[in-house]
Structure 1
């Protein structure tokens, strides 16, 4: 083996060994079916929403929540608790690899943002770090549940629906 072959093999070995960790974390190829897993930092996205709007010392005041989601925070939590109790889709579970899936908060906020502002499905990828398919699926489930829960409720009907609002 001459020196150029040895040097080339050393360089290739070093390149494989010292490849930056962030590129490995972003795209992980699943060897079973040839798909790519995109690490969207689901936990970080959930924490970002929580810190921006939900906690007592949140980043944005309640008027920003109302402007962004077109409802008061209290109403959002009531709807979220009813939706979560009605359908297991909105409960956080683990996927087949044991990683936590999206939280009920992320799915609900994605659906509400799409509905309240008539956003396109890929808009939530920037803030919530969700894919377009997940956005559309969340919106469909959310709409079906809200219709099933609140179809009989009407304003001014002697307290009908007060358990929801």
Structure 2
């Protein structure tokens, strides 16, 4: 067996696993290849250490996953999707929330709203999540109004019956 090749396969496994997770939950960070590489390296090291210490491959995989996803459990993207799907369901039917959320991630007003809160892995259960959710809803309403963004409801109301 080629040890070097096995390590490269493991590394690429953790990198692919992290990229897939980030594509779904942190699309704004997908271009941060330095972070992805460093985190995949850390996960591989945790996996190897656990195996050397006698843990099963399944246990080692679990330990490596903890390292791989640390600090990534709260997602701005998922939060925006939740707000858009729940509060703007009539105005922005699927697949618009996913497209609009990606745009909103780079908006300064939306970023300023997120920056008011200490976002951690456990933020959703912190009691501050509801306040963030409400503030994001208000920010999005203001963005739609101030930029005169068309919504489905507006288009329906404007069309002759």
- TM > 0.5 fold call: no
TM-score, normalising length: structure 2: 0.28
TM-score, normalising length: structure 1: 0.27
Structure with greater helix share of residues: 2
Determine which structure has more spread, i.e. the larger CA radius of gyration: 1
